[in-house]
Structure 1
Amino acid sequence: MTTFIFDVLKDLKNTGANLSNLTFVLPSKRAGVFLKSQLAQVAEQTMFSPIIISIEEFVEDLSKLKKVTNTELLFEFYETYCELANKTEIDSFEAFSKWAQILLQDFNEIDRYLIPQKKIFDYLSAIQDLEHWSVEKNQTDFIKNYLAFWNKLYAHYTHFTKHLLSKQIGYQGLMYREAVVNLEAYIKANDTQHVFLGFNALNTSEETIIQTLLKNNLAKVYWDIDDVFLNNPKHDAALFTRQHKLKWEYFKKQPFNWVTTNYSAEKNVSVFGIPKNIGQAKYIGTLLNTIKKEQKTLHKTAVILGDENLLIPVLNSIPSNINALNITMGFPLKSIPLASLFEQLFSIHKSASNTFYYKDVINILSHQFIRPLFQIETTDYASKIIETINDNNLIYLTNHRLKELAGKNKNLIELLFSGWITSIDVVLKKCSSLILTIKTYLDTDKESNLLSLEYLFRFNELFNELSRLNLEYKHIKDVSALHSIYKELLSSETLDFQGEPLQGLQIMGMLESRVLDFETIIISSVNEGVLPSGKSNNSFIPFDVKIENKLPTYKEKDAVYTYHFYRLLQRAKNVYILYNTEADILTGGEKSRFITQLELEGIHNINHKIVTPHVPIINKELNVIKKDDDVIKRLKEIAEKGFSPSSLTNYIRNPLDFYYQKILKIREYDEVEETVAANTLGTVVHNTLEDFYKPLVGTYLSVDIVKKLKTDIQKTITHHFKDIYKEGDITKGKNLLIFEIAKRYVSNFLDLEIEDLKKGNAIKIIAIEANNKVLIDIPEIDFPVYITGMVDRVDEYNGVTRIIDYKTGKVDQANVELVEWEAINTDYKKFSKPFQILTYAYMMDASKNLNFPVEAGIISFKNLSNGFLKFAKKDKPGTRLKDTAITKETIDSFKVELKKLIIEICNINIDFTEKEV
C-alpha cells in the first residue's frame, strides 16, 4: 500500500521540484511527522528538510498575530464588555463567561468566512427588533436590555478586535482575516513554492489564501478524493471537493490533483454491533490480539476513537503482547486523581459557610494525596479525625473544631479549610502551597512517585496561569468565578503520552487521522450523535442567517466527518467498524448512517455481526469454612464468656455471619448517623425505661408512681439521646421527629401501665435489665458452655411471673408462636423471636428457679394496642387453640433444641456453611 503523502512526494520529485525549497502546508502537525518520515523513502541523496507546517501555523505567521487561549480571550473580551456596558447592569465575570463563549465562537466564524461584520450584526439586530415588535408602546426593561445587547454586538466586535490588534494577539478567526489582509505583502516578499495537501473543507479565508497563491504560481494543491465520491452528486464525502473543482478559476485551466480509484479496491470490511462503550473497548483488545497473530506487526494499524472518552478503557484492554504503541491524544488532566481533590475543595468553599459537611471533610482527608500528609511518625491523624467524626455523630464541623482534632496538623487544616473566602489571591496561594506541600512529601521517594510528581507539575502550571490571569485582569471576584475559570482551563489541558510516533500501533482521534493512511483500521463509536455529531447548534446566529451568509451549519459539519470517515477507508485493506447497540441519547443513538450507507452502496461485501460478551454460567457455590484448631480455640473462649441469644439466632440466620462476627470479631463499620438509626432509637427507649423502673425493683406499681414517671420523660429521653447520639443534632428535621417518637413510645407505654393498674391488676417489678450467665450441661462437648443475656424486664402480673422483651419495631402475635420444636433452630425469619424469649426464660429458670407456670413475650412499641404478646405453643398450624403458659416441660423441650444448636456450632466436623439467601 502506498500512502497519499508518498504519492504526493513522488509526483513532486517526478516533476523536478526541489523538495528542500518547498513549504508543505498540512491540515495538522501530526501529518507533518509522517511526511518527514516518508521524505527519506523518496530522497535519493542527502538533503535539507523542507519547511513543514500546519495551516494554523502558516496563518499565524501570515497574520503577524499571536494566538491566545480561549480563557485569556474571555478576560480580554470582558474588558471590552465592561467599557461598553451600562455600569449599573454589568454581569459578573462568571455570568458573562456563559454567553461570551458562544459569542466568541460566532466572532470566530464570521471572521474565518470573511463576512462583512457590520452587515451581519445589523441583520441580527433587525431580526430581534422584528421578533419583539409589539403594538404596545412601552417595552419592559427586560426586553429593552435584551434588544440593547443585540444592538451593541457590532460595537463589541469592533472595540474587541481593535483592542486585540493593538496588543498583536488574536483568536483564530481574527488571525485568518488579518492573514488575508497581509497576503499581498507576503506574496511580494516571498517566492517560495507552497504545497497544500490533504485539505477538504476550507473556510473563505483559506480558500482566498490558497487561490491567491495558486494564481501567483506560488502554490500547488493536492486533494485526496476518490472518484466514487466525486462523481456521486449526493455523496457528502466529496461535498467540498466538488465545490472547489467547479468554482475555483484555477481548475478551469489546470488539472485537478487527485481523483483516485482506491476506494473500489477489494477490502475486508467488518461491522460489529457491541453493547455499551466498555464492550467496544474490550472487543478492540480482542481484534488487536487477532491482528497481531495474523500480521505479526501493528505498525500499519490504527485505532480511531470516534468518542475520545474511550481512550482509557481501550488502553486497559490492549493485549500485553503489544509493546510498541503511540497515542496521539493526551490524557485529560480532568481525569487525573489530583483534579478530584481541587474539585472537592472548590465545592466546599463556593458557599461562604463557617461549617463543613462531614462527608466533604472525610472525602478530602481520605484523598490519596492528602491522607499521607496527616501521618506523623506512627500516628495517622486523618484516621483519628474520621473516627471522632463517626463516634460523635458530627454532621457539621467548624474550622476551629477540625484544628482541635488535627493535633500537630493544624497548618494543613488551615491550608485546606481556612481563609478561602478572604480573597482570590489567598485562595490561589493556598492551592500553590498545597501543591508544594504534597511535592515535599512525594520527594521523599521520587522513584515511586514520578507520575504523581508529573501530575503536580501540570497542576502547578495551571494555578500559575490562574494567578497570572488574576493579577493581570482582576476580574475574578469570588471562589465560584475562580472555579468556573479553573474548570475552563482544566478541560483544555492534557498530559501527553510519551511514545515513538512512527512505530507500532497508532491510537488517535478522528481529526488526528487527517492525511494519514493505514492498512488496517479499527473505528469505534460509529453511532449517530458521535459520527457524525448531528444537529448541535452552539451559536447566536440563526440557521437561515448562516445559510444566507454561507456560514457552516450542522450539514457542513457532518460532511466534514463523512469525508474523514471515507478517506480512512480509501486505501485501507482491513476495516473494522464498531458501534454501540445500546442507544444512549446523551452519548449517541442508533448505528451511524455511515454504516447504512456502506451497506447500500454495494461496493464492498460487509460482514455485519452483533457481538455479545460471553457471559459464563456461574454456579453459585456456598462458602464453607472448615473448623480448625484456631476456630475451636475461639469457640471455647466464646463458650466460656457465654453464647448470647442474638449470637445464636445470628448462627441460625447464616452460620457465616456468626463466623465473621464472633470468630473473626469483624464488626460493622460505625458510620455517622445523619438520621437517628432504628437501633439508636431502641437503645434510647430501653435505657429510659431502665432508668424509670430500676429503682422500683421489688415494689408493686401504682397509678401515682407511674404518673410521676411521666413528668421525667423529656429530661430522661434528652439525656440518653445526648449520651448515645453524641453531638448529633436532634433539634430539627427527621431527628426531631424521631426524638418526639421516642417520647411518644415511652409515654404510651406508661399509659398502658396506668390503664392496667386502673383495671385492678397487680404488677410487681422483679428485675430490670437482669443480667444472667448460666452453665448449660452438654455431655457431648468436652468444655464448659455458658448462656448469657440481659432480660429487659421480669415482673409479677397478678401472681404470674412474666419475662418481657422490649421491641421498638413492629411485632404481631403470630411472630411469637410455635408449632414444631424442630423448626425453632432452622427458620430465623419465623422463629427468631420465640427462640430469644425461650432462651431468656431458660436462663431465668436456671438462675432463679422460676415458679411455673410463667409467661414470656414481647411488648412492641409499634403495636402497643395489643399489649403483652405472649409466647404460645400451638398443636397444629392454623389452629386457634394455643398454650401461652410456659411450664417446666416447655423449658425442657426447648433445652433439647438449644443443645442441638450449640453442639452443631461446637462440632469440629460440622463446617460453617453459608445459607442461601
Structure 2
Amino acid sequence: MAFFYFYNMKSFLSHVVRYILENNTDISNLTLVLPSKRAGVFLKHELSQQIKKTSFAPTILSIEELVEQISGYTSVSNTELLFEFYTVYKTLTPKESQEPFDSFSKWAQILLQDFNEIDRYLIPQKEIFNYLGAIQEINHWSMEKEPTALVKNYLTFWNKLEEYYTALTEKITQKGIAYQGLVYREAVDSLEFYLQKNENNKHYFIGFNALNTAEEKIIQEFLEVGLAEILWDTDHVFFDDPEHDASLFLRRHRYDWNYFKKNAFSWIADNFSSKKNIEIIGVPKNVTQAKHIGEILQELQQNNETLQDVAVVLGDEQLLIPCLNSLPAEIEKLNITMGFPLKDIPLATTFNNLYLLQEHHRNDAFYYKNIINVLSDTNLRPLFQQEDTNVAADIIQYIQANNIIYVPTELIVERFPEDIRDIAEMLFTYWTDNPKVAIQNCITLIRRLKTRLIEDREQHLLALEYLYRFNEVFNQLQHLTKQHNYIADIKSLLALYKEIISTETLDFKGEPLQGLQLMGMLETRVLDFKTVILSSVNEGILPSGKSNNSFIPFDLKKQFNLPTYKEKDAIYTYHFYRLLHRAENIYLLYNTEADGLNGGEKSRFLMQLETYKMPNHTVSQNVVIPKVPKIESRLQEVQKEATILERIKDIANKGFSPSALTSYIRNPIDFYYQKILGIREYEAVEETVAANTLGTVVHDTLELLYKPFEGKIVVTDDIKAMFQKVEQLVTDNFKKAYGEGNIHRGKNLIIFNVAKRYVTNFLNQELQTLKTGKTLRILQIEQTLRAKVEIPELDFPVYIGGKADRVDELDGVMRIIDYKTGKVSQGDVEIVDWDLLTQDFKFSKSFQVLAYAYMIYQKQPFQQDTEGGIISFKNLQSGFLKFGTKDKPGSRTKNQLVTSETLDDFLVELKKLILEICNQAIPFTEKEV
C-alpha cells in the first residue's frame, strides 16, 4: 500500500528537512541530491533553521555533480567539444571533401546534441545509426540505376555517423573528459563500483520530475539496494488526473518502477486546491510586461508585504534588463538567479565591431562606417578621450568633411596623440586576417581598458566585471586556436566568437536567501514562494512548442523512446503548476501583441486554469493598457527675446539672402534654427552623390566655363571650345564637392555622367540659340550682389545680398538667370496675387529671381528691357522660364518684363516680410507641412 505524506502549506524543502531529521540521527553521512545547484543553497539554509544542535552538514549535490562522481569523467564545454569533433572529422574525411570549420560547426552542433540525447537515454548506438542511414536511403531513392554524386555524398554522411560517434567518444574519454550524455552512460556502467564504495552512505533524491533513462537506471539501482529514498513533489489534482501532463512523468515512475510495487510513493499533497488568488493579466508588448511587474511590486510594498516570499519568474529571460530597469527604487535587496547572456552585454558589440572592421578591409583601408562604429563605441571612449579634446570625434568629423569612403590606416593613426598612438595602430592596422593576432589584440585591448577604468574603480565596477568575463572568453579562444589550428580567418573567428557569447553568461552574485528573487523558470525547481509573478505566459514560450533541432526524425524518436515536443511540453507543464502549488497570490502576465513569431496567443496553461478552476481559487482576468500621456500636437513657437532681435539685426546688417528669406516663407522655425541659432545640417559621408552635391558641381562647372567671357560676346566657336573642357571641369568639381568619394563606379558613375549631360545639353542649347543669329553677351557670372532696403519703421539698416548665377544680354534684352538642377515648370515662375509671394513657398522661385533683379536695379537702374527667370536642367527643352505676372488665374496675358513698377510691387512684399521677421510681437511659429 502506498504511503502518502501529507503536509500543510509550508515549503517543500521545509518538509524534506523535517522528514530527513526525523528519520536520521546522524545526517553527516547523508548525500542529498537535487535537480540544480541553486536548490542546494536553499536546502542548506532550511537545514540550518531546523537543526537544533551543532552537526556536520550532509553532502549536497546536483544530479549532474553526482553523475560526474560516479562516472569519473569531467564534463567538457560545448566549444571545446566542437574542436575535438572537428579533429575527428578531419581524420575520417578525405581532404578534398573536408569543410572549413565555420561551415562544419553549423551542422556539427546539431549532431552533438543528438549524440548527447542518444547517450542520456542509453540508446544502442549501432541500431539507431543504422536506422537513420536506412531512412535516408529510402527517402532518396532514384529511378537511376546509379545514384548521382550528390546523393552518394549525402548518404555517405549518414552512414558515417556511427563512425563519427565512436571515434569522438574514444578520443575524449582517453583525455578523461566527456560531454553530458556520455558522462551519464559511463555513470551507468560504473554504478556498481560506486555503490560498493558508498554502501554506508544513504542518498536522498529530492524534487525530481522528468528523468532520462540513465537517471532512471541510476536512481532505481540506488533504491533497489536500499541506499536511497526518493521524495517527489506533486499534487492529487494532477497526479489523479490521467490526462494532465503536470504529472505525466511521475505517474510513469509510480507505475513502471518495480520499487514502488512494494514501497510508498512519497509525496502526493493537497496544496494546489487550497485558497489562491490568481490574476491573469494581458499586457501589450514585452517591455510593458516589465513595467507592469514593477507596478505590482510597488503595490505589494505599499501593502507592507515582505518581498522575502516574492518571486519574479521570467518565462522569457530576455526580459531581464527591462525588468531590472522597472523595479521600484525602494527595493534594497535583490537576488538574480539567472545568468545575463554575454551577447546582450554592450562590450560584445565592441568586439563584434572590431571584427567587422577587419573583415571589410580593402588595400590598407577600412570602410568608413566600421571606422565610425569603433571610434564612437562608448566602451572604447576612455582610451580615445584626452583632457581637452575628443580624438575620435575629430577623426569622424574629418572623414565626413572629406567624404572618405575607405579610410587609410595612416590617416587615422597620425591623428592620434603620441601617448595613445599604439592603441590606434593596434585597432586600425590590418590584422592580416590572422585569428591569433585578432585574439591577442582583443586581450591587449581588455588590459588597456582595465588599466584606465581601475583608476576610478568604484565608478566602473560593472564595466570591470564585463572586462573580466570577456577576458575569460578570449583566453578560451586563444587556448583553443593554439591547441587546434582550425580557425583560418577572421570570418571564422567571428562565427565562433558569436557562438561562445550566445551560450555563455555573466552570473550575478548576491545573497540568495534575502530579498526579492528574480529567476528563470528552471531555477524555480523545488522552491516555493507565497507570491509568484510570472511573465510571458504565451504559447511558444510556456510551453515552448514544437521545435525539432535534430537530425533524428519524430517517428524514430518515438521508436527509441527519445523525448519529443510532447515530453518537453510536459516538463514545462510540471514546472508551471508546481510553482503554483503553495503560492497564495499569483500574477500571470502574457503578451497580447504578436511580436514576431511569438506572442499574442495566451498559453494553454492559462486556459486550463480558467477551465479547471478549483472552488477555492479566485481567478480574475484583465488587460492592462499602458498609461500613455496625451500629447497634444502643438506647433512649435519661439518668442523673439532681446538676444534673438540682436541676432536679426546682425543678419539684416550683413544682408538677408534670398534663400534665407524663402526658408522663412517655407517654415519660420527652419529660419530660426538655421539663421538665428546657426544649426547646420548633419554632415554625413555621401556614399552616393546627393542632389545638392550634383547641383553644386553643375553650378561650379558653368561658372568656370563662362567666367572668362564676362563683358564679352560669346560666339559659336567659344561654345564649341567649352565642350572640350567639360569632362575635366566636372571631374575637378566633383573632387572638390565630393571629397574622396568614388565617382568611377555604381550609382556615382551614373550621377557623374548625368552632371556632364546637364552641362553639355545646356551648351548645345546655347549653341543652337547662337546659330539662329542671336547675339549673346555675358554681363555677370556668380556676381556678389548687395542692396539696402529702406524701411523707415525700423531703426537699423537692412540689406539683402546674394549671388546671381548669371546675368546676360540676348539680342538687347537683359536676362537675370538662376540655375536649378531640379525640375521647374513655367507655372512655378508666374504670379497673379502679389500678396502670395511671401506667404506661399510655391512662389519661392519667383521671389529669388525678383530679389536678384532688385539688387541689380539698385546698383544700376535698367537701361533696357529686362527679364528674370530660371533655367531648369531637368526641363531644358522649355528653355529660359521667364518670370511673369498675370491679371487672373488661367489668363494667357502675361507681363514677362521686369520693370521698375514690378520691383516696386516686389519691394512692398519684401518690406512686409522683413518687418514680420523683425517684429518682436510675432514669434517664429512652425508651419504645418
Q: Same fold (TM over 0.5)?
A: yes
Task: Determine if the alignment matches structure 1 residue 319 to structure 2 residue 328.
Answer: yes
Q: Is the Cα–Cα contact under 8 Å of residues 403 and 685 in structure 2 kept in the other structure?
A: yes
1:718 equivalent to 2:731? Answer yes
Instruction: Map Cα deviations across residues 68-108 of structure 1 (whole Å, 9 max, x no partner).
Output: 10001111112222222223322222222111111111111
C-alpha change, 1:261 and 1:529, in structure 2 (3 Å) is same
Read off the aligned partner of 1:370 and give its amino acid letter: L
Match of 2:533, SS state, is strand
Asked if residue 702 in structure 1 is aligned to residue 707 in structure 2, the reply is no
Deviation of 1:538 (Å): 1.1
Partner of 2:3: none
Deviation at 1:384, TM superposition (A): 2.8
Who is 2:472 aligned against?
461
2:31–2:202: 8 Å Cα contact kept in structure 1? yes
Deviation (angstroms), 1:278: 1.0
State whether structure 2 residue 261 is matched by structure 1 residue 249.
no
- Which stretch of the first structure deviates more once superposed, 598-607 or 109-118? 598-607
- 1:736 paired to 2:745: no
Question: Which residue of the other structure, out of 547, 562, 566, is the alignment partner of 1:551?
Answer: 562
Amino acid across the alignment from 1:875 = D
Q: Equivalences for 1:351-500 in 2 at 5 Å?
A: 353-354=362-363, 355-376=365-386, 378-406=388-416, 408=418, 410-421=421-432, 423-500=434-511
Task: Please identify, of 724-733 and 585-594, the stretch whose mean Cα deviation from structure 2 is larger.
Answer: 585-594
Rounded to whole Å, the distance in 1 between the matches of 2:642 and 2:658 is 25
1:838 equivalent among 850, 856, 859: 850
1:781 partnered with 2:794: yes
Q: Contact between 1:393 and 1:673, CA under 8 Å: does it hold in 2? A: yes
- Determine if the alignment matches structure 1 residue 39 to structure 2 residue 47: yes
1:309 is matched with which residue: 296, 314, 318?
Answer: 318
Distance 2:763 2:359 in 1: 50
- CA contact 2:413–2:428 (8 Å) conserved in 1: no
For residues 144 and 835 of structure 1, the distance between their equivalents in structure 2, rounded to whole angstroms, comes to 78
Distance between the aligned counterparts of 1:212 and 1:135, measured in 2? 53
Cα distance in 2 for residues equivalent to 1:756 and 1:406: 57
Task: Give the gaps of 5 or more residues in structure 1.
Answer: none
Question: Which of 527, 549, 553 is the aligned partner of 1:538?
Answer: 549
What are the Cα deviations for residues 325-356 of structure 1, in whole angstroms up to 9, with x where unaligned?
11111222222222111101112323664332
CA contact (8 A) 1:765 1:794 kept: yes
Decide which moves more: 13-22 or 792-801. Answer: 13-22
Please state how far the C-alpha of 1:879 moved relative to its aligned partner.
Answer: 2.9
The correspondence of residues 231-250 of structure 1 with structure 2, limited to 5 A, is: 231-250=240-259
1:21·1:50 contact (CA, 8 Å) conserved in 2?
A: yes
Q: CA deviation at 1:497?
A: 2.2
Please list the CA deviations of residues 472-496 of structure 1 after superposition, one character each: whole Å capped at 9, or x if unmatched: 2222222222222222221222222
| Cα shift at 1:169 | 0.7
Q: Secondary structure at the match of 2:777?
A: strand
How does the TM-score come out when normalised to structure 2?
A: 0.96
Q: Is the 8 A contact 1:858 1:869 kept in 2?
A: yes
1:282 CA drift (Å):
1.2
Determine whether 1:524 maps to 2:532.
Answer: no
Separation (CA, whole Å) in 2 of partners of 1:866 and 1:94: 61
SS at match of 1:21: coil
* CA distance in 2: counterparts of 1:398 and 1:187, whole angstroms: 68
1:5 alignment partner in structure 2: 13
Q: What's the CA shift for 1:13?
A: 2.9
What amino acid maps onto 2:383 in structure 1? L
- What is the correspondence of 1:272-351 to structure 2 with a 5 Å cutoff? 272-350=281-359
What is the Cα deviation at residue 379 of structure 1?
A: 4.2
User: Structure 1 pair 626/229, CA: closer, same or farther in 2 (3 Å)?
Assistant: same
Q: Distance in 2 between matches of 1:389 and 1:330?
A: 40
Which residue of 741, 757, 766 maps to 1:753? 766
Q: 1:87 to 1:861 in 2, by over 3 A?
A: closer
Percent sequence identity over aligned pairs: 56
Render the CA deviation track for 1:171-207: whole Å, top value 9, x for unaligned: 1111111111111111111121111111100001111
Q: CA deviation at 1:438?
A: 2.1
> In the superposition, relative to structure 1, how do residues 140 and 589 fare at CA in structure 2: closer, same or farther (>3 Å)?
farther
What is the CA–CA distance in structure 2 between the aligned matches of 1:393 and 1:414, rounded to whole Å? 22
C-alpha distance in 2 between matches for 1:642 and 1:450: 56
Q: Distance in 1 between matches of 2:600 and 2:549?
A: 20
Query: How many Å apart are 1:425 and its aligned residue?
Result: 2.4
Question: Which letter does structure 2 place at the counterpart of 1:374?
Answer: F
Confirm or deny: 8 A CA contact 2:360 2:367 kept in the other structure.
no
Q: Which of 551, 575, 578 matches 1:564?
A: 575
Match of 2:794, SS? coil
Letter in 2 for 1:618: I
Please say which of residues 100-109 and 615-624 is displaced more in the overlay.
Answer: 615-624
Say if 1:824 and 1:832, in contact at 8 Å, map to a contact too.
yes
Aligned to 1:65: 73
> Which of 40, 45, 50 lines up with 2:58 in the alignment?
50
1:417 deviates by: 2.8
Count matched residues: 916
TM-superposed CA distance for 1:718, in Å, is 1.4
**What is the identity, as a one-letter code, of the residue corresponding to 1:868?**
F
**Aligned partners of 1:770, 1:383: CA distance in 2, in Å?**
37
CA–CA separation in structure 2 for the residues paired with 1:827 and 1:109? 74
- Cα distance in 2 for partners of 1:48, 1:916 equals 79
TM-score, normalisation: structure 1:
0.97
Q: Partner of 1:19: helix, strand, or coil?
A: coil
Q: Secondary structure at the match of 2:312?
A: strand
The answer to whether the Cα contact below 8 Å between 2:28 and 2:58 also exists between their aligned partners in 1 is yes
Letter in 2 for 1:240: F
AA in 2 matched with 1:454? E
Instruction: Name the CA distance, whole Å, in 2 between partners of 1:22 and 1:439.
Output: 45
Per-residue CA distance 1:722-776 (angstroms, 9 max, x = gap): 2221221111111111111111111111121122222233322211112111111
Residues 852 and 887, structure 1, Cα contact 8 Å, conserved in 2 = no
Distance 1:660-1:755 versus aligned 2 partners, 3 A rule: same
What SS does the corresponding residue of 2:927 show, helix, strand or coil? coil
SS at match of 1:809: coil
Per-residue deviation, 1:405:
4.3
> Match of 1:880, SS?
coil
1:610-629 → structure 2 map (5 Å cutoff): 610-629=623-642
Match of 1:662 among 635, 656, 675: 675
Cα distance per residue 1:807-847 (max 9 Å; x no partner): 0000111111212222222222x121111111111111111
C-alpha displacement of 1:138: 2.2
4+ long deviations beyond 6 Å: none
Tell me what 2:691 maps to.
678
Alpha-carbon distance change, 669 to 135 in structure 1, aligned in 2, over 3 angstroms: closer
Q: Which amino acid aligns with 2:689?
A: V
Question: Match for residue 84 of structure 2?
Answer: 76
Tell me, in whole angstroms, the C-alpha distance in 2 between the residues paired with 1:86 and 1:713: 61
Whether the 8 Å CA contact 1:352–1:421 is kept in 2: the answer is no
d(CA) in 1 for partners of 2:309 and 2:889?
77
Contact residue 338 and residue 507 of structure 2 kept, 8 A: yes
Equivalent in the alignment of 1:507? 518
Flag the 1:620–1:136 CA change in 2: closer, same or farther, 3 A.
Answer: closer
Match of 2:660 among 647, 653, 658: 647
* Contact 1:853-1:888 at 8 Å conserved across structures: no
Q: Structure 1 residues 692 and 585, CA, compared in 2 at 3 Å: closer, same or farther?
A: closer
Q: Which residue identity is paired with 1:222? A: L
The partner residue of 2:116 within 108, 112, 117 is 108
Supply the distance in 2 between the matched residues of 1:80 and 1:274 (Cα, whole angstroms).
50
Contact 1:529 1:589 in 2 (8 A): no
Conserved? CA contact 1:419–1:427, under 8 Å: no
2:902 corresponding residue in structure 1: 890
Q: Which amino acid aligns with 2:509?
A: Q
The answer (yes or no) to whether the contact 2:812–2:864 under 8 Å persists in 1 is no
